Amino acid sequence: MQTNLLEAFEKMQTVEELTAFQAGITRQGFSGFKPFLDSFTELLKTAKDGDLERIEALLAKACHLFPEPAAFSPSWETVWQQLSDSAAAKRQVLQTVAESEREGEWQIIMDNPHAVQEVVCYPGLSFQDAAYLYAYFRPQLEKSEYIRMQKIQTLIQETGS
């Protein structure tokens, strides 16, 4: 249903169509807007080379139609900027890693060497999953934190008995 919602939104061109869509989502409130936002998250998760211009255009269109997403939930005050920042980070990953280098196992590591906290590691990822996690977490980094997306070249793994 979420994909259909976004596909329908993407096809809308007239002011009447967009106004009716806006009114329908607004009438439903949180429960109408959340699936709309979730469809953007799903789109970013699966985005490949060449998809980001389309995603950025859809984000701009959605931001124009719903300029105050905090009206649906205070936690969404900056959701359009967050999604745009994630799209930019995903673009960076896709432009940096050649398609021929994307096969294999990837991982995401996040840490702040100046703070007493645990290192966060997401191992055993496909390139697509790692690229999405990088794009999701990159814009949220605090001072002195870092994020690494790295491909596993050699792996030795054992399981205790």
Nearest residue to 142 (alpha-carbon basis) of 122, 103, 113, 121: 113
- How many residues in total does the chain contain? 161
Q: What is the largest CA-CA distance in the chain?
A: 65
pTM for this prediction: 0.88
C-alpha span between 101 and 57 (Å, rounded):
28
C-alpha span between 157 and 138 (Å, rounded):
28
Per residue, the 3-state secondary structure of 4-17, as one string, reads HHHHHHHHCCCHHH
> Does residue 34 surpass a pLDDT of 90?
yes
pLDDT in tens, 45-95: 999 999 999 999 999 999 999 999 999 999 999 999 999 999 999 999 999
Beta strands in the chain (DSSP E): 106-111, 120-125, 146-151
